[in-house]
Amino acid sequence: MDLPIDHFRLLGVSPSAEADTVLRKLQSRCDSPPDQGFTHEVLLQRAELLRRSADLLTDPVRRADYEAALLDLSSNNPNDTVGLELAASSEAAGLILLWEANSALEAFQMARQGLQPPQAPALGSGREADLTLLAALACRDAAVEEQDQRRYESAAQLLRDGIELQQRMGKLPDQQRNLERELERLLPYRILDLLSRDLGDQTSHQQGLQLLKQLVDNRGGLEGSGDPMASAGGLVQEDFEPFFKQIRRFLTVQEQVDLFSSWHDQGSVEAGCLAVFALAAVGFSRRKPEHLEQARDKLNGLTNPDLDPMPLLGCLDLLLGNVAAASAHFLATRDSELKTWFAEHPGDQLAAECEYCRAWLERDVLPGYRDVEASDVDLDAWFADRDVQAYVDRLDRQSGRRSLVSEPSPGEWSESWSLDPVELSSSGEEKAQELEISDSDEEERPHIDVPRNVVVGAAAGVVVLGALAFALMNWRSRAPVPATAVKEVEIEAIATQSPVDESQPQAKLKPEPGRELALKPLTADQPSDVQLQALIQAWLDRKAAVLAGDPLQTADLPSVARQRLVNRVLDERTLDASFDHSKVINASVTAVETVSTKPQRIEVRAQVAYSDQTNDASGQTVRSTAPESLTIRYIFGRDGAQWKLHEYIPES
């Protein structure tokens, strides 16, 4: 046979070793043969091969010729391997020396080949016993070398080949068990190897997922209720937790949702908690609020006494637009430090809740997924998303959270605010038909879509955005906003209109004349309730005029409100105009109560007598809102020296 090794490596000396060094090495190797159970005959053959190499290397002439041959081979055939020719009778001894020279992979492959027909030794012979033992030892060492190079799946394949060979030979059950234990211990590393590969290699990725399920199932779940030393890659709980944390970053968010939900169904409480976070991550990152609702439902079903679910429920409710429920959950937390943080937060309660929610998403929810970006969490973008707004609006209607939808309207505010950005059909006829559908069919009918070039705020979006947008503005930048250029005209007091008598039948509504009063920026350091009421009424009047189709009133809107609110009104008017509709609105402020006053922020609670009517091009009523009294929170902020409406929030 041709053994892929030279005399220097076989003996274990360097090419520059002197003769006395060679002889000392020979004596050392002969005095310490491997003691794993090889036959006496093969160990004698091993010693003889060592002596032959030593004889050559201590003879100056033969050594010089040998070194010249090696040099010539490396120069003329750089890709060839140096080899030694051995008699077939010395095969096992030569392979033992090859294994001892740290060429375990080559020794295993050649030993396995030697056990295959037609080279297979006679059954029960010493050669068969020696080659079988050598194959087991070399296989294990070769697998370790592959692990050291982080080729874990290659190492696993070597171990599987070795186990198969031992099963076929049926000679060494102890060595077979050793290989099986090595393969089991390798399981976590194989999982890491397979899952960390490029997602384009789906075969490897799916194999890694299956092995991960196997590992967790064998150990009795994430908590490790089984015997980890015997069934889960030898990982005790303290080692499993950092390993699993490392594994998670190679899994997509949807894969984690599926895995954790499955393990939770099997009784793992820890998996239930992780499923909540994964559902929240996929919901927020992909703008799928239905996953946040699933996360909230799953969180409510957890029975972990060590878990305080209140802050998590608060964040989920906040993202789903239920501001009141979110505040209640935050206040009910058992965490005294968190309560202190909320109490000492420089902004108002809602601003603190928004800041906590943003930090929760950025720190605890979004990290740890292969396909989710965890930085720059933008709550503004979340609440501005059309799918989020439409979903939250549906939640409002289903749960009874203060629906302000007029009777046949798909999502219109009772104070003539925004239309729900749900899907429009392609033809004008279908649009008109869908607009005629009543609220009783709301859940069954297709949604009404807004044209893509029209940005429209949703009713649900306004419920939350009203509070959140201002809160987000507060905690992002406490500095005053630069003043916007406005028309220098005078604000005059507006007479308070009495509530509409609901017992009287109502004719078609129309804007009251005389409301187009001159406007002047409100700049008083401490505006009175009368001044604030006048500012609210000015906003309602100009807004009603714009929605009725009066373009001249558009110029006055920036004098009383931030541009974002102005854009909302203009978008709503654009939408109405696309259907050739117009609104006739009657809205009067009947009472104002100051809620809080700060140098840069004032919040008031107002009672508004409200009714509206939407007409088509022929003047026929398409839909209407019966007269009612609404309670609305108005939030004013200072743009430079001027007070403007920053947001409004209807209350239940």
Do 454 and 481 form a contact (C-beta atoms < 8 A)? no
What's the sign of the alpha-carbon dihedral 412, 631, 350, 300? negative
How confident is the model at residue 407, as a pLDDT? Answer: 33
What is the amino acid identity at position 150?
R
Distance, C-alpha 448 to centroid of its chain: 30
Lowest pLDDT segment from 171-180, 274-283, 319-328, 397-406 = 397-406
What ranges in 549-618 are assigned the alpha helix state H?
A: 563-578
What ranges in 481-630 are assigned the alpha helix state H?
A: 529-547, 563-578
Average pLDDT, the chain: 79
What percentage of the chain has pLDDT greater than the value 70?
79
Of these ranges, 72-76, 80-84, 406-410, 470-474, the one predicted with the greatest mean pLDDT is 72-76
More confident residue, 399 or 60: 60
Domain boundaries, the chain: 2-190, 387-650
* Strand, helix or coil for residue 380: helix
What is the amino acid identity at position 445?
R
User: How is residue 497 annotated by DSSP?
Assistant: P
- Residue 465 pLDDT greater than 50, yes or no: no
How confident is the model at residue 576, as a pLDDT? Answer: 81
What ranges in 170-306 are assigned the alpha helix state H?
A: 173-185, 187-195, 202-218, 228-231, 237-248, 253-265, 269-285, 289-300
Place of tokens 């299956």: 210
| Bridge partner residues of 614 (DSSP) | 583, 623
Do 468 and 383 form a contact (C-beta atoms < 8 A)? yes
Lowest pLDDT segment from 239-248, 297-306, 385-394, 503-512 = 503-512
Q: pLDDT tens, 574-612?
A: 878 877 888 899 999 999 999 998 888 999 999 999 999
Angle in degrees, CA 643, 646, 652, rounded to 5:
125
* Strand, helix or coil for residue 43: helix
User: How is residue 371 annotated by DSSP?
Assistant: T
How confident is the model at residue 218, as a pLDDT? Answer: 80
**Residue 452: pLDDT band with limits 50, 70, 90:** very low
Q: What is the mean pLDDT of residues 428-434?
A: 35
Do 409 and 612 form a contact (C-beta atoms < 8 A)? no
User: How is residue 439 annotated by DSSP?
Assistant: G
d(CA 607, CA 593): 9
Angle in degrees, CA 471, 467, 379, rounded to 5:
60
Lowest pLDDT segment from 74-78, 442-446, 556-560 = 442-446
Angle in degrees, CA 461, 465, 466, rounded to 5:
115
How confident is the model at residue 227, as a pLDDT? Answer: 53
How confident is the model at residue 431, as a pLDDT? Answer: 33
Q: Could you tell me the two tokens for 585?
A: 């609105």
Distance, C-alpha 234 to centroid of its chain: 29
Instruction: Name which of 142, 140, 134 is nearest 169 in CA terms.
Output: 134
More confident residue, 31 or 447: 31
DSSP code string of 529-556: HHHHHHHHHHHHHHHHHHHTT-GGGGGG
**Residue 519: pLDDT band with limits 50, 70, 90:** low
User: How is residue 5 annotated by DSSP?
Assistant: -
Verify cis geometry, omega within 30 degrees of 0, for the bond prior to 118.
yes
Q: pLDDT tens, 92-141?
A: 999 999 999 999 999 999 999 999 888 788 888 888 999 999 999 999 99
d(CA 163, CA 384): 59
The overall longest dimension of the chain from CA atoms, in Å, is 127
User: How is residue 102 annotated by DSSP?
Assistant: T
Q: Are strands 601-615 and 621-639 parallel, antiparallel or unpaired?
A: antiparallel
pTM exceeds 0.85: no
Do 651 and 463 form a contact (C-beta atoms < 8 A)? no
How confident is the model at residue 31, as a pLDDT? Answer: 93
Place of tokens 């308070």: 496
Measured between alpha carbons, how far apart are the two ends of the chain, in Å?
A: 91
Instruction: Name which of 571, 566, 587 is nearest 639 in CA terms.
Output: 566
How confident is the model at residue 306, as a pLDDT? Answer: 81
Q: Which helix (H) or strand (E) holds 627?
A: strand 621-639
Lowest pLDDT segment from 34-48, 83-97, 217-231, 413-427 = 413-427
Do 444 and 402 form a contact (C-beta atoms < 8 A)? no
